[in-house]
Amino acid sequence: MKITGANLLRTLLERQGVHTLAGIPGGASLPLYDALHAAGSQNAIRHILTRHEQGAGFIAQGMARVTGRAGVCLATSGPGATNLLTAIADARLDSVPLVAITGQVPQALIGTDAFQEVDTYGLTLPVTKHNFLVRHPAELLEIVPLAFQLAESGRPGPVAIDVPKDVQVAATEVHAWPAPGGPVPSPACPEERIDAVVRLLAGARRPVLYLGGGVITAGAADLAQQLARRISAPVVCTLMALGAMPPDDPLFMGMLGMHATKGANFLLEEADLLVAIGARFDDRATGKAAEFCPHATIIHIDIDAAEIGKIKSASLGLVGDAADILRRLLDRLPTQNHPAWRARAAELRETHPLTAPPRTEDPLNPINLCRFLGEILPPDTIVTTDVGQHQMWVAQAYPVRRPRTLLTSGGLGTMGFGLPAAIGAGLAAPDRRVVCVSGDGSILMNIQELATLAELGLPVAVLIFNNAQLGLVRQQQELFYGRRYVASHFTTVPDFAALARAFGLRGIRLDADRDPLADLAGALAAPGPCVIDIPIHERANVFPMVPPGAANRQMIAEPELTSSHA
Amino acid sequence: MSSGLEPAGFPETCPASQDKPEATAAAVLALRVRNHPGTMSHITGLFARRGFNLEAIVCVPVDDGSTSRMLLLVSDEPRLEQVERQLAKLYDVLTVRHRPDLTRDFFAKLAPSAMGAAPGPTA
């Protein structure tokens, strides 16, 4: 059977079980789009037309972050490919499985500075797990399944496939279809390493579990909770691990690091054993690495061998799947009670609560807003955030109850992530409410995707915490640059409710003087997409804050008056 | 990481040089890699991106040309283990080994003019 490269690629994607992909067509990807049109079969792929390729990349990420399976995005050559790069780099840093497919100019034109030619292979090389330039349609039979295998195996990540137009057009003989690519199990961690964990835990008096996003990726949240209870170990989570433990669990200490729950950072100072699981000792989590957990022996469990000892040397490193390691560990680990240590953790938690003025007094205080959202939203709601102060307020105050219900750009910190990721989440989980918490700075970075949202009609609510600032920048200028505010204040802020209506969406603006929380609840209770503009205090800051480069114990606390009126 | 001699291949034909005092401690890594146009970019890109030093590269296709043997002259610093682990993660890198029997001299003999040294005696 002779088949064109474009039809071959489409068929291979169908065989992978891809039912939805997001992209924007262009000259160098038109044969592939023609193949998508010709697909009449029942497993035909649904194409989501976005308004910017970065939107397509983050929609694919949103789908991947909810399902754990590789999301797929599609762009043309040149600017199409460069517009995808941020979403690809973002997937790399947050270990999100993604397959990015780009059209390329015909091979005869590669290297000639042809129209819309860019070295996509070279550009994607440092931000992918692996990348391919396809030179012959028959190579797709190997490359496509391999791309999905690489994206989903071990530590997941993005894979790019650059397909020149002539490869899409050329026909090749297909004799047999390859098996779809999928996650390949990692080699098992040796038994003696697990025995060594048991021995180290037996000698610990003040153990702490430090969970990272890898726990969620591995589907090991329940096992991590069992481990915590088995050994009476309080648990701290990174931003990426929020949802791995119920926020009301007595052992849960909250997030660690720059904008931690204060008690979590103090507790780590006292720990004598730290069990890091699927966490990479990122600087936002550890603060000054040399002073992180100064008294603790470190056990580091990670699927990526290169993470063991990268930042902090571990006394014991275990390489493998966290779920497998934890299951085997729990099989042989005796119960340990550390009542004094548990009491100390509880004391730290109670001594250092996250504070906000009473809700009746200040309903639009960001902490109060996030807590209110936690009360009114169904527990399976998927929350996405953009990047900035609102992201940290969500992390601190919104109760993330389940894995994969908080989607946030943790590593790359990409403003503009939230809206398209929310659309992707809505596509992956059509029956659930999706809430994108954004800021007035971030939302404008992919505002064009409101058109995509309006077209799809997904139940995505966009909440804009609007302070007319690049708030986290302004906060740093206030705290560390002598209040010299440069380029952090917006003198013009659009009327977001009107903007939403212009896109064909419901749009409202809350009014602090007219029971705003009731209006918020009402807007969220109504079905379908909407944009809710929420005026917050211009000078509200995120506390505590560890100055960049400082040790985690050096937290800047909030001022006496917790209400942050300007 | 693993260490020891490569079982076979072109480096065996080169005599191990004698230890000599060196300006900076260097180590030699031997890689077996898939031989295709992007492999060198992946390896050099990794060194650039992670800020590792890479002083010299020798690369020769072996077998039927589907793989290559590569020798990298790198700084012998505490981060070397991290370098090896990051290299091992690359899809196109099949094996990473130490070559304690090789030193900077091995590369110097290959490129006398570039190293500003007189050519060594021919074996």
Residues of A numbered 127-186 whose beta carbons fall under 8 angstroms of chain B's beta carbons: which are they?
129-131, 133, 150
Å between B56 CA and nearest CA of chain A: 21
Q: Which DSSP state fits A314?
A: -
Q: From the list A131, A133, A306, which residue is nearest B85 (CB)? A: A306
Q: Which of A125, A127, A303 to mutate to test the interface with B (most CBs of B within 10 A)?
A: A125
The tokens describing A91, both together, are 């997937």
**pLDDT top residue among A457 and B106:** A457
CA pair distance A319, A214, nearest whole angstrom? 12
Give B89's contacts in chain A (Cβ within 8 Å).
Answer: 304-306
Helices then strands, each counted (H, E), chain A:
21, 20
Q: What share of chain B is helix, strand, coil (3-state, %, to 5)?
A: 30, 25, 45
Q: Which stretches of chain B are DSSP H helices?
A: 39-50, 80-89, 104-110, 112-115
Rounded mean pLDDT of B26-41?
94
Residues of B with CB under 8 A from a CB of A: 37-38, 41-42, 45, 49, 81-82, 85-86, 88-92
Locate the chain B residue with the closest alpha carbon to A306. Answer: B85
Give B90's contacts in chain A (Cβ within 8 Å).
Answer: 130
Give A121's contacts in chain B (Cβ within 8 Å).
Answer: 38, 41
The verdict on a CB contact (< 8 Å) between A133 and B41 is no
Nearest partner of A199 among A307, A296, A316, A302, judged by Cα: A316
Å between B82 CA and nearest CA of chain A: 6
Confidence of residue B47 (pLDDT cuts 50, 70, 90): very high
Confidence of residue B24 (pLDDT cuts 50, 70, 90): confident
Contact status, residue A112 vs residue A143, Cβ threshold 8 Å: no
Looking at residue B115, what is its pLDDT? 52
Q: Which stretches of A377-515 are DSSP H helices?
A: 389-397, 418-428, 449-456, 471-480, 496-502
- ipTM strictly over 0.90? no
Residues of A numbered 12-51 whose beta carbons fall under 8 angstroms of chain B's beta carbons: which are they?
none
Looking at residue B109, what is its pLDDT? 85
The tokens describing A62, both together, are 């949103």
Q: Is the pLDDT of residue B9 over 70?
A: no
The verdict on a CB contact (< 8 Å) between B45 and A131 is no
Rounded mean pLDDT of B112-123?
54
Q: From the list B38, B49, B82, which residue is nearest A126 (CB)? A: B49
Q: Pairing between strand A71-75 and A20-23?
A: parallel
One-letter amino acid for residue A462 of the chain: V
Looking at residue B34, what is its pLDDT? 95
Locate the chain B residue with the closest alpha carbon to A311. Answer: B82
What distance, in Å, lies between the first and last C-alpha atoms of chain A?
71
Q: From the list A125, A129, A130, which residue is nearest B45 (CB)? A: A125
The verdict on a CB contact (< 8 Å) between A122 and B85 is no
The verdict on a CB contact (< 8 Å) between A125 and B88 is no
Q: Is the pLDDT of residue B16 over 80?
A: no
Locate the chain A residue with the closest alpha carbon to B46. Answer: A126
Looking at residue A564, what is its pLDDT? 44
Contact status, residue A244 vs residue A211, Cβ threshold 8 Å: yes
Looking at residue A39, what is its pLDDT? 64
Looking at residue A43, what is its pLDDT? 63
What global pTM score does this model have? Answer: 0.93
Q: Pairing between strand B67-75 and B26-34?
A: antiparallel
CA pair distance A452, A455, nearest whole angstrom? 5
Rounded mean pLDDT of B56-66?
92
Using alpha carbons, list the distances in angstroms from residue A370 to A227, A382, A383, A463. Answer: 29, 14, 11, 11
Å between A107 CA and nearest CA of chain B: 14
Looking at residue A559, what is its pLDDT? 75
Nearest partner of A82 among A54, A59, A109, judged by Cα: A54
Looking at residue A42, what is its pLDDT? 61
What distance, in Å, lies between the first and last C-alpha atoms of chain B?
31
The verdict on a CB contact (< 8 Å) between A306 and B38 is no
Å between B9 CA and nearest CA of chain A: 27
CA pair distance A141, A492, nearest whole angstrom? 52
The verdict on a CB contact (< 8 Å) between B89 and A306 is yes
Looking at residue A457, what is its pLDDT? 98
Give A131's contacts in chain B (Cβ within 8 Å).
Answer: 38
Per-residue pLDDT of chain A (566 residues; tens, 9 = 90+): 899 999 999 999 999 999 999 999 999 999 999 999 876 666 689 999 999 999 999 999 999 999 999 999 999 999 999 999 999 999 999 999 999 999 999 999 999 999 999 999 999 999 999 999 999 999 999 999 999 999 999 999 999 999 999 999 999 999 999 999 999 999 999 999 999 999 999 999 999 999 999 999 999 999 999 999 999 999 999 999 999 999 999 999 999 999 999 999 999 999 999 999 999 999 999 999 999 999 999 999 999 999 999 999 999 999 999 999 999 999 999 999 999 999 999 999 999 999 999 999 999 999 999 999 999 999 999 999 999 999 999 999 999 999 999 999 999 999 999 999 999 999 999 999 999 999 999 999 999 999 999 999 999 999 999 999 999 999 999 999 999 999 999 999 999 999 999 999 999 999 989 999 999 999 999 999 999 999 999 999 999 999 999 999 999 988 764 444 43
Would you call A119 an interface residue with chain B, using a CB distance cutoff of 8 Å? no
Give B81's contacts in chain A (Cβ within 8 Å).
Answer: 309
